[in-house]
């Protein structure tokens, strides 16, 4: 898809379709008013007759409007003008795309950027539009023989800005958002692949491909022998039951100042999670191919950073394994020794994500990180607590938590903080080892984070539990690409801060 920005009046756009907003209670946006006046009141007459109310997601396609140069005009309902939220703005853009896909138009001039969203400027609206459009158009057809592609697919969107003074900012927004959107697509594509294709070795190969694409990226892949030497007994315990060897993928993107401590992203990469000996129920087990969405989001994020050539230092660490119930698989009651030296009693082999993450988090210490953020589809308890809207957020550093919450609000990829109180640590008591890998029946998301916190004492750390947001079930089953938008917004915010302080 091609995206660009342009200033100009809607009636002068010689293009396949011009898109303008109508607000609830039949109020026309400024561009809709211009088209209405130039056409002799056609739009206001239709609205007055009830053809268009302006409710969120409603659309009405008009052909050959008098005194305009475009072939079509699409009216899109944006709801109440004073109540347009991030989510509603995205829904309006997606309603636009769904209607246009059946219209025959291939080039579009969108004036939805006029819609007033509280505390959001034109660059934000352009960025959100691109992400919403690409999300709506995304299809995973890699393994299908019949792709059912549209005969005349959409190929170009032009976003309206109010004057030439906004063109430069608009172009920057397009560039940033296209990189983020491409990172989201990479994350979705990897997560949607089945477990027989997307194995730990396959993830390692994709990380190596990034090194070939971007000269600032250096990828190192540690095999099981290397991890054995490092003492990663916790991670290796999980991979023992599978014929697929575990890997530790390290991606270094060092484009910033040599003195700048890196941001470290750690992504859980369980390419298929059967639960091990603590076997999961058979129903919906196919969705356990999504247990590597943390790793996929990290790969999508670092590719977006490299595409934008951000002058920052970022390290990605991806522990990746299969969790299978083989003859050598770990058993409930087994005790293993982590890279940190702490011993872990494994009470449930389906709580494997924290076992691979704890060694990766210990490994992160070698980079003297500025901050460490781990991303993991860690607990079903997070889905129970928060549903599918925000990711769970916990950590040991208030400024980092605050920045991630703000980045989530700004990007629309929201997270919600849960408490990480010492009271919960008692749940991880073991009579036989330093720590148990699960707590009691309650607060599963928090006790999982408490487990990880035991391995993050030496740096500022945050944990994103994305179990509820990383994929959708049912008819729309598939990966969402979250939280690439959140992570990229956090990184871009940090970049802007560094520019201002230098």
Write out pLDDT tens, residues 28-84. Answer: 999 999 999 999 999 999 999 999 999 999 999 999 999 999 999 999 999 999 999
Residue 317 parent element (H or E):
strand 313-323
pLDDT value, residue 428: 98
Residue partners of 327: CB distance under 8 A and separation at least 6: 241
Write out pLDDT tens, residues 101-148. Answer: 988 899 999 999 999 999 999 999 999 999 999 999 999 999 988 877
Burial (CB count within 10 angstroms: exposed 0-12, middle 13-18, buried 19+), residue 476: exposed
DSSP state of 401: H
Superfamily of domain covering 193-501: Zn peptidases (3.40.630.10)
- Cα dist. 35→19, 40, 81, 111, 387 in Å? 11, 9, 19, 12, 43
Residues 236, 334 contacting (CB under 8 angstroms): no
Collapsed DSSP state (helix, strand, coil) of residue 223: coil
- Looking at the DSSP bridge assignments, the partners of residue 373 are 265, 462
pLDDT value, residue 502: 65
The Cα 49–Cα 51 span in angstroms is 6
- Looking at the DSSP bridge assignments, the partners of residue 471 are 479
- The size of the chain, in residues, is 502
The Cα 6–Cα 31 span in angstroms is 14
280 is catalytic: yes
Domain residue spans of the chain: 2-179, 193-501
Instruction: State the catalytic residue, choosing from 216, 280, 342, 472.
Output: 280
pLDDT value, residue 418: 98
pLDDT value, residue 322: 98
Residue partners of 292: CB distance under 8 A and separation at least 6: 190, 191, 198, 203, 267, 268, 269, 270, 271, 320, 377
Residues of the chain with pLDDT under 70: 149-150, 502
- What angle (nearest 5°) sits at the alpha carbon of residue 380, between those of residues 87 and 400? 60
pLDDT value, residue 104: 85
CA 199 to chain centre: 21
Backbone angles phi, psi at 131, to 5 degrees: -65, -40
The Cα 229–Cα 431 span in angstroms is 28
pLDDT value, residue 164: 83
CATH architecture of the domain 2-179 equals 3-Layer(aba) Sandwich (3.40)
120 is catalytic: no
Instruction: State the catalytic residue, choosing from 125, 354, 454, 482.
Output: 354
- Secondary structure, 3-state, 43-61: HHHHHHCCCCCCCCCCEEE
Residue partners of 46: CB distance under 8 A and separation at least 6: 52, 60, 62
Q: What is the DSSP string of 115-174?
A: S--TT--HHHHHHHHHHHHHHHH----TT-S-----SS---EEEEEESSGGGHHHHHHHH
The pTM of the full predicted model, rounded to 2 decimals, is: 0.95
């Amino acid at each position: 898809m091609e995206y660009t920005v342009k200033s100009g009046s809607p009636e002068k756009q010689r293009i396949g379709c011009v898109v303008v907003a109508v607000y609830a209670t039949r109020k026309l946006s400024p561009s809709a008013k211009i088209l209405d006046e130039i056409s002799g009141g056609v739009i206001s007459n239709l609205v007055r007759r009830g053809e268009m109310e302006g409710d969120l997601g409603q659309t009405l396609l008009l052909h050959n409007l008098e005194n305009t140069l475009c072939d079509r005009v699409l009216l899109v309902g944006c709801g109440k003008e004073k109540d347009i939220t991030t989510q509603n703005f995205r829904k309006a853009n997606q309603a636009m795309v769904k209607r246009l896909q059946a219209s025959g138009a291939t080039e579009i001039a969108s004036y939805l950027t006029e819609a007033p969203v509280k505390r959001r400027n034109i660059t934000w609206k352009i960025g959100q539009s691109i992400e919403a459009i690409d999300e709506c158009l995304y299809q995973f057809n890699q393994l299908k023989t019949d792709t059912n592609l549209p005969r005349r697919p959409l190929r170009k969107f032009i976003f309206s800005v109010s004057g030439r003074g906004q063109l430069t900012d608009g172009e920057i927004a397009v560039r940033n958002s296209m990189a983020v959107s491409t990172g989201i697509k990479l994350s979705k594509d990897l997560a949607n692949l089945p477990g027989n294709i997307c194995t730990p070795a396959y993830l390692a190969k994709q990380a190596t491909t990034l090194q070939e694409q971007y000269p600032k990226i250096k990828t190192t892949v540690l095999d099981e022998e290397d991890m054995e030497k490092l003492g990663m007994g916790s991670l290796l315990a999980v991979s023992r039951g599978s014929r697929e060897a575990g890997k530790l993928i390290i991606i270094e993107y060092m484009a910033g100042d040599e003195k700048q401590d890196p941001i470290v992203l750690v992504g859980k990469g369980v390419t298929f999670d059967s639960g091990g000996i603590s076997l999961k129920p058979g129903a919906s087990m196919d969705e356990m191919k999504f247990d590597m969405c943390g790793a996929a989001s990290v790969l999508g994020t670092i590719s977006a950073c490299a595409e934008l050539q951000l002058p920052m230092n970022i390290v990605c660490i991806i522990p990746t394994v299969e969790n299978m119930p083989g003859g050598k698989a770990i058993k409930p009651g087994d005790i293993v020794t982590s890279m940190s030296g702490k011993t872990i009693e494994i009470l449930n082999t389906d709580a494997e994500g924290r076992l691979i993450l704890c060694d990766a988090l210990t490994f992160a210490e070698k980079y003297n990180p500025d901050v460490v953020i781990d991303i993991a589809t860690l607990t079903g308890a997070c889905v129970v607590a928060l549903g599918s809207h925000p990711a769970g957020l916990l950590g040991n550093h208030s400024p980092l938590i605050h920045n991630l919450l703000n980045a989530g609000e700004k990007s629309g990829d929201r997270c919600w903080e849960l408490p990480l109180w010492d009271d919960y640590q008692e749940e991880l008591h073991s009579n036989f080892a330093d720590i148990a890998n699960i707590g009691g029946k309650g607060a599963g998301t928090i006790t999982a984070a408490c487990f990880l916190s035991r391995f993050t004492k030496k740096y500022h750390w945050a944990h994103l539990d994305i179990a509820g947001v990383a994929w959708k079930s049912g008819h729309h089953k598939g990966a969402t690409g979250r939280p690439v938008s959140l992570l990229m917004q956090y990184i871009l915010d940090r970049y802007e801060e560094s520019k201002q302080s230098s």
